[in-house]
C-alpha cells in the first residue's frame, strides 16, 4: 500500500508496520519533530524505525538520520521510502537495536537526538541501558503504551540522569 504523511509518500509491504490512522500519525510525527528541536546540524538515531516514517519526517531538518529496525522487510521499505521522497541524508539498516547501537556509533558518530518508537513492551533492559549510554542530549520517546511510557522514562531519569521535559 502507499500512504501520504506530512507530504511524504510511504510504500508499505504486507508484513511491515505503518500507523494505520494516518491523520493521527501526522499529528504524532509533527509533535516528534517539534520535540526533536532540529536545526539542521544534528545526527539523529531513529531506533525501531519501522518503514522510516518518523526518521524521514525529521530528515529535512537534520544533518543525518540513521534508522535501525529488526524487520528486514521494514528496512527495505524505509530505504525505498527515502528514495521515493528524494531524501539522501537518511540511512537504514536491519538489526536488533540493543546489539546494533555500538556499530551504529562507530558508523555515524554520537547522536545529538535519539528518537525511539519501541514495541508495546517498551525498551528491553539492554536496549534502554545501551541507548542511555549514548548520552544523546535529547531523546524523543514515542509510545502507544502508557505503562512503558511511564517506566522507561522513569528509568532514564533515575538511572541515567535524563530529565522529562515534555510529554
Strands in 15-161 per DSSP E? 43-47, 64-69, 90-94, 113-116, 138-141
Residue 144: active-site member: yes
Which of 49, 77, 144, 167 does the annotation list as catalytic?
144
Grid coordinates of 99: 546489539
d(CA 32, CA 29): 5
Contact 61, 131 (CB under 8 A): no
> What positions carry a catalytic annotation?
144
Amino acid at each position: 500500500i502507499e500512504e501520504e504523511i506530512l507530504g511524504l509518500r510511504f510504500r508499505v509491504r504486507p508484513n511491515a508496520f505503518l500507523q494505520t490512522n494516518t491523520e493521527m500519525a501526522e499529528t504524532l510525527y509533527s509533535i516528534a519533530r517539534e520535540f526533536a528541536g532540529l536545526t539542521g546540524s544534528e545526527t539523529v538515531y531513529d531506533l525501531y524505525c519501522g518503514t522510516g516514517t518518523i526518521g524521514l519526517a525529521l530528515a529535512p531538518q537534520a544533518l543525518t538520520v540513521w534508522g535501525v529496525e529488526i524487520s528486514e522487510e521494514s528496512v527495505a521499505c524505509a530505504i525505498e521510502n527515502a528514495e521515493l521522497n528524494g531524501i539522501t541524508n537518511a540511512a537504514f539498516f536491519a538489526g536488533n537495536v540493543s546489539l546494533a547501537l555500538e556499530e551504529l556509533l562507530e558508523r555515524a558518530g554520537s547522536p545529538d537526538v535519539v528518537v525511539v518508537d519501541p514495541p508495546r513492551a517498551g525498551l528491553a533492559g539492554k536496549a534502554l541501558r545501551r541507548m542511555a549510554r549514548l548520552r544523546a542530549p535529547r531523546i524523543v520517546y514515542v509510545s502507544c503504551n502508557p505503562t512503558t511510557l511511564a517506566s522507561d522514562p522513569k528509568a532514564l531519569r533515575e538511572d541515567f540522569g535524563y530529565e522529562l521535559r515534555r510529554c
